Structure 1
Amino acid sequence: MSGAGAIAPAATGARAGAGTGGRLARLRLALGFARRDLRGSLSGGTLAGFRVFVACIALGVATIGGVGSLAGALTASVADQGRAILGGDLDAALVHRAASPDEHAALAALGPTSTVATLRSMARNPATGDQILVELKAVDDAYPLVGSLDIEGGGDLHAMIGRKPQATDGAPVWGAVADKALLDRLGLKIGDRIGLGTTEVVLEGVIAREPDKLAGGFDFGPRLMISARALDSTGLVVPGSLVTWHERVTLPPGAGDAAVKAAKDRLEATFPDAGWRLRDRNAAAPGFVDNIARFAQYLTVVGLSALVVGGVGVANAVSAFVERKRASIAALRALGASGTFVFFMALAEVMAIAALGIAIGLVLAAAIPPLAGVALAGVLPVDAVGGLYPGALGLAALYGVLTALAFSLWPLGRVHDVSPTVLFRDADGEARRPRRRYVIATAAVAAALAAIAIGLADDRRIAVVFVAGTIGAFVVLRAVAAGLRALAARAPRARSVTLRLALGNIRRPGALTPVVVLSLGLGLTLLVTLALIDGNMRRELTGRMPAVAPSFFFLDVASTEIDPFRAFLAREAPGATVAATPMLRGRLVSLKGIPAADYPAPASAAWVLKGDRGITFAATPPANGRVSEGEWWPADYAGKPLVSFSADVARDLGLKIGDPVTVNVLGRPVTATIANLRTTEWDSLSINFVMVFSPNTFAGAPYGVLATLAYPGGGSPEAETALMRAIGRDFPTVTAVRVKDALDTINDLVSQLALAIRAAASIALAASVLVLAGALAASHASRIHDAVVLKTLGATRRRLIAAFALEYALLGGATAVFAVAAGSAAAYAVIAGVMRIPFAFDAATAIGAVAVALVVTVGLGLVGTWRVLGHKAGPVLRDL
């Protein structure tokens, strides 16, 4: 198929293959001729049209393989560093209380132990009165059992946080080390004092690396670390304080995973009512690993989107390949080659070129983990483990092969039944529908691609939505392209010659309309969807919420101090609204008699069963909710424990009135019956709880008080700063969480996530641009023909440029309108349907999408047009 020199050998081979009667022999012959034709094509430069093909396949494979490899590297890092991240082989976490002597003895019998207490508190600069929220960590002399805590400039942790008998004023104080962010925000330096509760500590060092930081989860403030012996002097630990005690233990050297699991099982069986959260080294950072899996799945979907968009370029390249090879195909058919023989020969060539793209993609994918490890060394909480990840690379290669097949079989199948006469004389002969076998094969490969995407997904609902959305998008975009061509054909005759030329180019056979609408439409729709989701989340966090949210949350207000604290707030913030409610922490143990670990909770409500939940008790319904089903208990109720459940959470968990739920609070299991369901306004940021118990449930139990303060009109930064200083002076053990600071922290996290998501989504847009560039390159010859004929008939270069620019602008504008409509619908489904927050359309996003579409289509189109208009007319006219 590489020219006249290949025709005679092809004829001889075809006849020889036909005479053997063996399919395998004919297949070998087809592969042999494909190999010779590829050699001839490479030497003759006729494979240039496959550059976009290779680039599209390589881009999608590199994305999928790279994401999978990086996720594997990070997951392997967590597993490899699990003991250091957790701080031991086992960690027993208890809220409100430390381990009992029996519990501690059981842990100590397993091996060396260490006790760590974590809580949120306020750290203040005594010189200025400024204070900020910190993540306080009190450690014993055995910390860390595994790994090492590094101090900037070196130094021994325990020497730094020990008692300092000779302080500058003669009073002994304890030392502390902290994150650099604490020094920056409070204007401190080494040797300065930090107010902490009712005492002060002296800053001795800056933490460079904390081995078990990842196990603590999300932080709202910088780390401040002190000695466990110093914690009592702060006055921060009182009955009901939100302190989490971690008892860590290391097993003897060489203990395998089975021994760790057996030790964990024995502890759970020996202390079934302890209420602790037991984790082993294989689940050191489950939240981080889960987030890696979710983000990897999302990026895999983006990679699949890039492959699907690139599939349009694959189909275009294959169609152009068949067109260029028409003469060679006709010669082979005339010399006796069967349609099946020609099909398999062409398929072998196409798949060989696809293999090149897949190989390039796999090389890039394999390089992503080590490159990311270097580039993100200061961002990632763990060191990425190097090496190859065959599973991720193999899956990416499989996706690449299936995509190449799915978009190649149809155009290749058209040559089977086309006669040599049609191939020589009729340029449109190959446009007919291929034989049923090729249609079925195309459908089977596409179904296999969808089945793998769904079957291997962690969240199959997302995968099903992606597959259904992709199919729907293809159908709708094909309809949009057909509609544009129909509108251009039925448009009234325009007076403007430029407009008539543009409309004619949109509707004519072989127009770029389907390619532009399909490829650019998919990429822009994804970008619009993500941009609207990001914008609505930001508006909810930083726009609407702060207008209705309180200014402060106050934690660890002792129940004996709530009245003096209310009076203090009334004096320091007159006119502000103060709300207060008791709060304890408890863990759901079972629902409807089913252990929480085994309860079939959907993803939307699984968070309720993980970790400890804030719970409260009340004689009357909360002011910010209403009972939607059932009845509230009497104010003087003294019967069996009852609980009010959030209606939306109960619905997701399949709970109803009368169902029993068991929680463990302060090491005591409490079973209560659901008495009513109530609506909960989570987005108000006021005090809300999933569970509100009847007051008699926790009679006599120690508890803290959670309070909020809302300034009329939102308050001012000056008033908030003054109040925080006053609290640090009069109530140093109360933790004041400034809501705007918390929202800023969350907003920063959302910004980083949005940047990563947009960068990933740009991959799909890059595939769209590649497809458009390939389509323009494929249409180069026909555009030269049109331009030369029009110039011969008197068209000026300026008019032709204007006509082509208008054509591309109309296509880009129409595609952008579709992308805005489809992206808005998809974003609405996510925001209103999944996140359940109000949706607002962002006009700036729509304008941005239109601008991107116009820049891409008009820019690429004009680049190609300039090359076309520079072509000399003589050679073209001689061939007419």
Structure 2
Amino acid sequence: MHGTIPAQPQRRPIPASSGLPLVLRLALRELRGGLKGFGIFLACIALGVAAIAGVSSLSRSLTDGIGREGRRILGGDMAFSLLQREASQAERAFLASKGEANTIATMRAMAVAGEKGSALVELKAVDAAYPRVGTLETDPPFAPADLFAARDGAFGAAADPALLARLDLKVGDRVTVGGATVELRASLVSEPDKIASGIGFGPRLLVSQEALQATGLVQPGSLVRWTYRLTLPPALSTEEGLAQVEAEVGRALPEAGWNVRTRLNADPRFARNIERFTQFLTLVGLTALLVGGVGVANAVRGFVDRKRASIATLKSLGAPGGQVVMLYLTQVMMIAAVGIGIGLLVGAALPFVVTGLFGHLLPIPIQPPLAWAELGVALLYGVLTALVFALAPLGRAHDVQVSGLFRDQIDPERRWPRKRYLAALAVSVAALVGLAVLAAYDRRIALMFVAAAAGSFVLLRLVATGIMAVARRLPRPRRTAPRLALSNIHRPGALTPSLVLSLGLGITLLVTLALIDSNLTRQLQQTLPERAPSFFFLDIPNAQADAFEDFLRTQRADAEIQRVPMMRGRLVSLGGVPVSEVKAQEDVSWVLEGDRGITYAKAPPEGTEVVEGEWWPEDYRGKPLVSFDRKIAEGLGLKIGDEIVVNVLGRNIAATIANLRHVEWRSMGINFVMVFSPNAFAGAPHTHLATVTYPDGSDAATDARILRSAAQAYPMVTSVRVKDALEAVNDVVSQLVMAIRGASSIALVASLLVLAGALAAGHRARLYDAVVLKTLGATRARLLSAYALEYGLLGLATAVFGLLAGTLAAYFIITRVMNLGFSLDLSGAVLASGLAVLVAVGLGLLGTWRILSQKPALYLRNL
């Protein structure tokens, strides 16, 4: 059997003219045997492609919905908004000259239901033309004219069902808003312009403009947003016409201070949030695809090992190494095409499934399209990922020796593929990186993701090399099981690199998610600092500010009251550059969007520290100065001495930055991005903002009493209970956490598949190990204990790396991306990594048990 090996026949390459058809023909012939060993390969590719295709297609459906429904969402073709003041007669007349105009007013107010208490509401006052676009749905149904008409001493209203539940009211009951009595004639089912009107802390209360005026809440300086909507004639409703009207209004009324929106960008905040969340989910899908790529590499390596005899046969018949590689690359890519096809089908179907199951919950109606461009991008991701992770193991098939026909090579020599395959690999990696960056909404984040992914692969390879080096240098144990486990870790062809890579990615991801989850939970549960206010009081009329403060002191003498003047202003330019052209950092761009609260002060506000520049004297009378939050100023590219222009009540006010402050926003105190010198707004109408803090806190009964008393004595003051506001925010954040957990589970499933694939890839070598050791007298129990010890040692070493890497990743995401404080709580992370190690050991032993049941004779023949 082991006689002299005959001389190999001279190889004669197959003619090039028949190369491609022959390769394809041989690939199809070999695939007739089925896809055995490629189950995990298919699952990894399909999972990643489905995630990317599904997320992109759903995002396309939502953005198309916004574009298609823009006119209904906005309530017209254009909307011009002002805060704290109504448009003048001249301004309204100019808008009316361009098309049909109607008016909406929104503000926060208190609805008082007698002994049943009071509640904060988002008051929305509409005119007789509402809704000009879309349909208002109520229960019971009402025509708007009948719904809002005044009769029997009360104005009609439609209320959000949440308000009815909160105050234990029913349709037909009455509440008091300011100085007006309002009858709740219907519960609100749907308002066509809900998104454009904004989402607040309280339930919606829909009333007429006449009812709003009767409340007495509209005073100089009151925080009322007036929105004037235009429905343009067909000739001006085109994209060019919208731009023309906007330009004409800007030229005719340059200092009006409008916030202008058109049906083409009906809700830019909602669209931007879709883009951001799509970016996150796409990165999760790409993570799953890259993690799955390790599974692809493991599957291809196992495939090549199984095909060594076939490869040797082909080469002995004259097939060149390059043609052999092309043959098996064709097979692998054909199998990958099956997985990509499955992923594309699932991804394309996802928007239709979501619409069918949850369409009634979405804020806009969507009609899912087949998003061919997005599916094409997902297809490219799948093809490039399969190519990147298959090239290296397939490239080694070029140098498989023909002697494999006569003697099995259990631990074949590991070597780098030839230069041509390394070059192809480099091109494929560059293409995958380029696609990830070019297809991203935020290319900076995409580049950071690419760098983190590359760093993870390199670090895990170094960790595997280090573990093998340490195991090689450790003294050999006397007992058989530890000695065998230690040698298995560092021997040629060991599973260590693939197991460390597969398990390391999974544990790192688990630890990262566990720490993000724990930090977000801590933020939700411990948002209130030790000295957080109990109430915010808004819209305190300037003339009643002192009296209201005295009233608050009568409620509890030990209350700590902080009161500041407050106005709203919109930034117009920074350093001479219009805000529309300012390139702000992502985390501070919100400052440029819409109106901001502003104040003036003689001394630095409590809880702030001047870190650069100097505060102005108390009797300062010069050119208006402003103090800026340092972090936000840096994000906007501002420095001391720069000039900013802010529009307040229709006037542009220029001010010079005199100093920068550090503001602790999480203190829940009264803080502003911009604090002006007192002379900047001399004589301007404004209201006051106050907070009330109790040294020992307060209970629900006390809070309800104070809210009821304040609403009855000062109906124009809006009261916000801090705990209620935080609960509203926490509900949104909790939903975000659940979405992150659900999306990230895709990557976790991919990690589990890859781990199983890594173990399966080493099946052949482990099979021969077991055969030889059993022949030499090793018992099944001893082999199982050796393998368990090996997997356990690798798992523990990898878990240490996963804990460190996951902690660093979570710290970066929490502090730099989410801008929150980081707290190191490793209890959940350690539990998650421990479970991952147990899963790895369990999967390894499960595969080993099957190996140990094999009969030795069949395999001993070829050794």
TM-score (norm. length: structure 1): 0.93
Secondary structure at the counterpart of residue 398 of structure 2:
coil
Secondary structure at the counterpart of residue 628 of structure 1:
strand
Task: Determine if the alignment matches structure 1 residue 451 to structure 2 residue 434.
Answer: yes
Match of 2:19 in 1: 26
- Call closer, same or farther: CA 1:793–1:719 in 2, change over 3 Å: farther
Report the Cα distance in structure 2 between the residues aligned to 1:789 and 1:418, rounded to whole angstroms.
Answer: 24
Unaligned stretches of 5+ residues in structure 1: 1-10, 166-171
Among candidates 335, 344, 357, match of residue 317 of structure 2: 335
1:135/1:224 contact within 8 Å kept: yes
The Cα shift of 1:424 comes to: 5.2
1:369/1:384 contact within 8 Å kept: no
The Cα shift of 1:496 comes to: 5.0
Match of 1:739 in 2: 722
2:411/2:492 contact within 8 Å kept: no
Secondary structure at the counterpart of residue 713 of structure 1:
coil
The Cα shift of 1:700 comes to: 1.1
The Cα shift of 1:87 comes to: 0.8
Match of 1:5 in 2: none
Report the Cα distance in structure 2 between the residues aligned to 1:495 and 1:209, rounded to whole angstroms.
Answer: 77
Task: Determine if the alignment matches structure 1 residue 242 to structure 2 residue 230.
Answer: no
The Cα shift of 1:160 comes to: 1.9
Match of 2:118 in 1: 131
User: 1:267-326: per-residue Cα shift (whole Å, max 9, x none)?
Assistant: 122111110101000111111111111111111111111111111111111111111111
The Cα shift of 1:423 comes to: 6.8
Which stretch shows the higher mean deviation, 304-313 or 518-527? Answer: 518-527
Secondary structure at the counterpart of residue 607 of structure 1:
helix
Secondary structure at the counterpart of residue 657 of structure 2:
strand
Match of 1:263 in 2: 245
Task: Determine if the alignment matches structure 1 residue 857 to structure 2 residue 840.
Answer: yes
2:160/2:187 contact within 8 Å kept: yes
Report the Cα distance in structure 2 between the residues aligned to 1:874 and 1:424, rounded to whole angstroms.
Answer: 17
Write the letter of the residue equivalent to 1:148.
T
The Cα shift of 1:784 comes to: 3.8
The Cα shift of 1:497 comes to: 4.1
Task: Determine if the alignment matches structure 1 residue 80 to structure 2 residue 61.
Answer: no
Written as runs of structure 1 = structure 2, the 5 A alignment for 1:74-153 is: 74-128=62-116, 130-153=117-140
- Call closer, same or farther: CA 1:615–1:687 in 2, change over 3 Å: same
Secondary structure at the counterpart of residue 229 of structure 1:
helix
Report the Cα distance in structure 2 between the residues aligned to 1:242 and 1:870, rounded to whole angstroms.
Answer: 78
Task: Determine if the alignment matches structure 1 residue 783 to structure 2 residue 766.
Answer: yes
The Cα shift of 1:867 comes to: 2.8
Which stretch shows the higher mean deviation, 417-426 or 622-631? Answer: 417-426
Written as runs of structure 1 = structure 2, the 5 A alignment for 1:753-772 is: 753-772=736-755
Write the letter of the residue equivalent to 1:177.
A
The Cα shift of 1:675 comes to: 1.7
Among candidates 38, 41, 50, match of residue 62 of structure 1: 50
Match of 1:219 in 2: 200
Among candidates 329, 347, 350, match of residue 347 of structure 1: 329
Among candidates 580, 589, 592, match of residue 597 of structure 1: 580
Write the letter of the residue equivalent to 1:238.
Q
- Call closer, same or farther: CA 1:120–1:770 in 2, change over 3 Å: same
Report the Cα distance in structure 1 between the residues aligned to 2:510 and 2:240, rounded to whole angstroms.
Answer: 47
Report the Cα distance in structure 2 between the residues aligned to 1:861 and 1:156, rounded to whole angstroms.
Answer: 69
Match of 1:421 in 2: 403
Write the letter of the residue equivalent to 1:137.
K
Among candidates 318, 327, 344, match of residue 362 of structure 1: 344
Report the Cα distance in structure 2 between the residues aligned to 1:546 and 1:247, rounded to whole angstroms.
Answer: 41
- Call closer, same or farther: CA 1:154–1:495 in 2, change over 3 Å: farther
Match of 1:484 in 2: 467
Which stretch shows the higher mean deviation, 824-833 or 424-433? Answer: 424-433
Report the Cα distance in structure 2 between the residues aligned to 1:182 and 1:806, rounded to whole angstroms.
Answer: 62
2:301/2:761 contact within 8 Å kept: no
Match of 1:209 in 2: 190
- Call closer, same or farther: CA 1:709–1:427 in 2, change over 3 Å: same
User: 1:589-620: per-residue Cα shift (whole Å, max 9, x none)?
Assistant: 01111111112222232111111011111122
Match of 1:36 in 2: 29
Task: Determine if the alignment matches structure 1 residue 385 to structure 2 residue 367.
Answer: yes
1:91/1:279 contact within 8 Å kept: yes
Secondary structure at the counterpart of residue 655 of structure 1:
coil
The Cα shift of 1:653 comes to: 1.6
The Cα shift of 1:792 comes to: 4.7
Secondary structure at the counterpart of residue 663 of structure 2:
coil
1:31/1:344 contact within 8 Å kept: no
User: 1:549-590: per-residue Cα shift (whole Å, max 9, x none)?
Assistant: 211111001111111111111110221211111111111001
Report the Cα distance in structure 1 between the residues aligned to 2:761 and 2:820, rounded to whole angstroms.
Answer: 46
Secondary structure at the counterpart of residue 148 of structure 1:
coil
1:577/1:710 contact within 8 Å kept: yes
Report the Cα distance in structure 2 between the residues aligned to 1:253 and 1:524, rounded to whole angstroms.
Answer: 59
Which stretch shows the higher mean deviation, 866-875 or 149-158? Answer: 866-875
Report the Cα distance in structure 1 between the residues aligned to 2:284 and 2:261, rounded to whole angstroms.
Answer: 34
- Call closer, same or farther: CA 1:221–1:809 in 2, change over 3 Å: farther
Secondary structure at the counterpart of residue 403 of structure 2:
helix
The Cα shift of 1:531 comes to: 3.1
User: 1:499-519: per-residue Cα shift (whole Å, max 9, x none)?
Assistant: 344334333333332222212
Report the Cα distance in structure 1 between the residues aligned to 2:778 and 2:326, rounded to whole angstroms.
Answer: 45
Match of 2:4 in 1: none
Among candidates 706, 709, 713, match of residue 692 of structure 2: 709
Match of 2:179 in 1: 198
Unaligned stretches of 5+ residues in structure 2: 1-8
- Call closer, same or farther: CA 1:474–1:417 in 2, change over 3 Å: same
Report the Cα distance in structure 2 between the residues aligned to 1:380 and 1:817, rounded to whole angstroms.
Answer: 43
The Cα shift of 1:647 comes to: 1.6
TM-score (norm. length: structure 2): 0.95
User: 1:647-691: per-residue Cα shift (whole Å, max 9, x none)?
Assistant: 221122221222111011101111111122222121212111111
Written as runs of structure 1 = structure 2, the 5 A alignment for 1:277-426 is: 277-421=259-403, 425=407, 426=409
Secondary structure at the counterpart of residue 164 of structure 2:
helix
Write the letter of the residue equivalent to 1:709.
V
Write the letter of the residue equivalent to 2:151.
K
The Cα shift of 1:162 comes to: 1.7
User: 1:386-419: per-residue Cα shift (whole Å, max 9, x none)?
Assistant: 1200111000110111111111111111122444
1:117/1:246 contact within 8 Å kept: yes
Report the Cα distance in structure 2 between the residues aligned to 1:516 and 1:212, rounded to whole angstroms.
Answer: 54
Report the Cα distance in structure 1 between the residues aligned to 2:286 and 2:818, rounded to whole angstroms.
Answer: 24
Match of 1:8 in 2: none
Write the letter of the residue equivalent to 1:456.
A
Write the letter of the residue equivalent to 1:638.
R
The Cα shift of 1:187 comes to: 1.2
- Call closer, same or farther: CA 1:796–1:333 in 2, change over 3 Å: closer
1:151/1:209 contact within 8 Å kept: yes
- Call closer, same or farther: CA 1:201–1:472 in 2, change over 3 Å: same
Written as runs of structure 1 = structure 2, the 5 A alignment for 1:561-640 is: 561-640=544-623
The Cα shift of 1:875 comes to: 4.4
Match of 1:499 in 2: 482
2:625/2:676 contact within 8 Å kept: yes
- Call closer, same or farther: CA 1:125–1:506 in 2, change over 3 Å: farther
The Cα shift of 1:378 comes to: 4.1
- Call closer, same or farther: CA 1:527–1:118 in 2, change over 3 Å: farther
2:414/2:493 contact within 8 Å kept: no
Write the letter of the residue equivalent to 1:162.
A
Report the Cα distance in structure 1 between the residues aligned to 2:830 and 2:119, rounded to whole angstroms.
Answer: 41
Which stretch shows the higher mean deviation, 628-637 or 532-541? Answer: 532-541
1:627/1:676 contact within 8 Å kept: yes
1:423/1:429 contact within 8 Å kept: no
2:410/2:768 contact within 8 Å kept: no
Task: Determine if the alignment matches structure 1 residue 231 to structure 2 residue 224.
Answer: no
1:414/1:430 contact within 8 Å kept: no
Report the Cα distance in structure 1 between the residues aligned to 2:23 and 2:173, rounded to whole angstroms.
Answer: 81
- Identical residues among aligned pairs (%): 54
Report the Cα distance in structure 2 between the residues aligned to 1:868 and 1:311, rounded to whole angstroms.
Answer: 26
